[in-house]
């Protein structure tokens, strides 16, 4: 695939998962955390939405297993439903 077909997405301190299919959420979170650490971010916000808590559970389970995540907690100020995470430095 030529380089001009590759779309580079800037890594910011927050990601909104509403644009992703539910089946992709875990892999998106895992890749986002790796990219955020590589970009030098130490704290990130992952917007997963409100509802029955299924998406929140998937996000937090992925964060709990991720070796680059130091800690995570609910963003109680988020009206859209979000989780905040503190990331470890790149090894």
Look up the domain containing 46 and give its range. 11-87
Tokens of 55: 């998406």
State the total domains in the chain: 1
pLDDT tens digits, 10-47: 799 999 999 888 899 999 999 999 999 999 999 999 99
Q: Is 15 domain-assigned?
A: yes
Q: Is 1 domain-assigned?
A: no
Q: Is 3 domain-assigned?
A: no
What angle do the packed helices 54-65 and 25-38 form, to 10 degrees?
Answer: 40
Residues 6+ apart with CB under 8 A from 56: 48, 49, 74, 81, 83
Q: Quote the pTM value.
A: 0.86
Tokens of 78: 């988020």
- Beta sheet of 69-74, edge-to-edge order: 14-16, 43-47, 82-87, 69-74
CATH classification at residue 39: 3.30.1370.110
Mean pLDDT, to the nearest integer, of 63-68?
97
Q: Is 6 domain-assigned?
A: no
Task: Classify 73 as helix, strand or coil.
Answer: strand
pLDDT for residue 80: 79
């Amino acid at each position: 695939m030529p380089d001009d077909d590759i779309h580079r997405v800037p890594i910011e301190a927050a990601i909104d998962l509403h644009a992703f299919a539910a089946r992709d959420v875990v892999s998106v979170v895992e890749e986002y955390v790796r990219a955020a650490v590589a970009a030098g971010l130490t704290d990130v916000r992952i917007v997963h939405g409100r509802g029955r808590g299924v998406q929140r559970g998937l996000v937090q389970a992925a964060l709990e297993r991720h070796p680059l995540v130091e800690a995570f907690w609910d963003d109680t100020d988020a009206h859209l439903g979000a989780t905040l995470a503190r990331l470890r430095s790149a090894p």
